Amino acid sequence: MDGMHDLGGKQGFGRVRYALDAQVLHEPWERRVNALYSLAVRLGIFNMDEYRHAIERMEPRHYLTASYYERSLTSLATLCVEKGIVTLEELERRAQGSFPVAMPGAPGRPNVASRRRFAAGDHVKVRSDYVPGHIRMPGYIRGKTGVVVSESPVYPFPDAHARGVAAADEPTYDVRFRSEDLWPNSADTALVHVAVFQSYLERV
Amino acid sequence: MTRTSDAHPNIATVERRVDAIQEAFEVRGFKPAEAIEQLEHLAEEAWIPQNGARVVAKAWTDPAFKQRLLTNGRDAVAELGLTMPPHHRHLVVLENTPSVQNVICCTLRAGPKRSSRRSSRKNR
């Protein structure tokens, strides 16, 4: 989906700020969230693709104002409710307040029927599909052409795996794009590599 | 951390929301307290930057290990006692050279206020 999470290439944020010694986990509740969602995955309540999709389909304003671990918490709660582990009513009773969860989102899709293997050096184009459900394609590469650098091993196809749709695992391709092609007249000259699932690509 | 929005005027604090999930897990026998304690131990003692430093140092000083690392990172780091859970199927290691510098941008969303430093492990 073209949701709020898809920030790559968005303008207006200014320079990326970073601290070399930034802590990954700050508050105790963040450590607890991390442990609880990891536990839920271990117990088979949901998989990582479902987890990511549940974050992406948070109500946009909630998504933008929530911290990383609040998004994680929201995904965990959303999936526990949707999977019938607990009701939202029980969570809100225990939390003594409202507990916002994500929006329903769109169904998944199986592998693209015309997908094919690629080799290093192949020129490929990212398909101009608009997928309402989960997709691991950043919007800034849609319709763009690049060169395959290498193939990586197969993993569950996220568009399907995030929604319980049967699909074959797919390889990803390290595709090299020119920044001038991605953002004409708006970026420093650079080569940008993106790992792209097989179903997102077609031969040029 | 969370700003109250018009849509959720009575939103519970994040701590209370985490408590709610933890309590719900507890009464269902999921043993969340143990999971939390286990993660604390792993985060504090097992998953430390020195792990990566040891791997890199060995690659710098042992060319054969470096080749194994670049070929199959998961197997190579296991030589140093570093294990990965089964669903982390692969560890891909990329070498920085004078002409190529690799920057891994985790495609998971970034937080609005703080940066996050991620390990160079590609997680799929």
ipTM of the complex: 0.91
Per-residue model confidence (pLDDT) at position B107: 57
Beta carbons of A166 and A178 less than 8 angstroms apart: no
> A43: burial class by Cβ within 10 Å (0-12, 13-18, 19+)?
middle
CATH of B50-124, one of 3.40.30.10, 3.90.330.10, 3.40.50.620, 3.10.20.30: 3.90.330.10
Per-residue model confidence (pLDDT) at position B123: 36
Q: Is A35 helix (H, G, I), strand (E, B) or coil?
A: helix
Q: Is the pLDDT of residue B122 over 70?
A: no
- How far are the Cα atoms of A34, A98, A179, B16, B86 from residue A74, in angstroms, in the given order? 12, 12, 34, 13, 26
Could you list the pLDDT tens digit for every one of the 204 residues in chain A? 999 999 888 888 888 888 888 776 678 999 999 999 999 999 999 999 999 999 999 999 999 999 999 999 999 999 999 999 999 999 999 999 999 999 999 999 999 999 999 999 999 999 999 999 999 999 999 999 999 999 999 999 999 999 999 999 999 999 999 999 999 999 899 899 999 999 999 999
Write b or e for each residue in A89-98: b if 16 or more Cβ atoms lie within 10 A of its Cβ, otherwise e: ebbbebbebb
Of A5, A19, A22, the CB nearest to B109: A5
Per-residue model confidence (pLDDT) at position B7: 62
Q: Is A58 helix (H, G, I), strand (E, B) or coil?
A: coil
pLDDT tens-place string over residues A100-133: 999 999 999 999 999 999 999 999 999 999 999 9
Q: Is the pLDDT of residue B114 over 50?
A: no
For A69, the closest chain B residue by CA position comes to: B111
Of B12, B18, B31, the CB nearest to A98: B12
Per-residue model confidence (pLDDT) at position A93: 98
pLDDT tens-place string over residues B45-74: 888 889 999 999 999 999 999 999 999 999
Shortest distance between the Cα of A38 and any Cα of chain B, in A, equals 8
For A80, the closest chain B residue by CA position comes to: B21
Mean pLDDT of chain B: 82
Q: By the CB < 8 Å criterion, does A131 face chain B?
A: no
* A vs B: CB pairs below 8 A: 150
Give the CATH class of A123-203.
Answer: mainly beta
- Say if domain A1-105 classifies as CATH 3.20.20.20: no
Pairing type for strands A201-203 and A123-126 reads antiparallel
Contact A77 B5 (CB under 8 A): no
Q: Confidence class of residue B121 from pLDDT cuts 50, 70 and 90?
A: very low
Domains in chain A: boundaries: 1-105, 123-203
Contact B112 A67 (CB under 8 A): yes
Per-residue model confidence (pLDDT) at position B92: 87
**DSSP symbol at A162:** T
Q: Which residues, other chains included, contact A92 with Cβ-Cβ below 8 Å and sequence gap of 6+?
A: A98, A99, B12, B20
Q: Which residues, other chains included, contact A42 with Cβ-Cβ below 8 Å and sequence gap of 6+?
A: B35
- Smallest CA-to-CA distance from A55 within A109, A100, A118 is with A100
Write b or e for each residue in A1-28: b if 16 or more Cβ atoms lie within 10 A of its Cβ, otherwise e: bebbbbeeeeeeeeeeeeeeeeebbeee
Q: What is the dihedral of CA A20, B121, B115, B44, to 10 degrees?
A: -70
Domains in chain B: boundaries: 1-47, 50-124
Residue A10 identity: K
Contact A35 B16 (CB under 8 A): no
Q: Which residue has the tokens 């996050």?
A: B116
Q: Is the pLDDT of residue B3 over 70?
A: no
Shortest distance between the Cα of B50 and any Cα of chain A, in A, equals 14
Contact B1 A59 (CB under 8 A): no
- Smallest CA-to-CA distance from A160 within A170, A175, A150 is with A170
Residue A94 identity: R
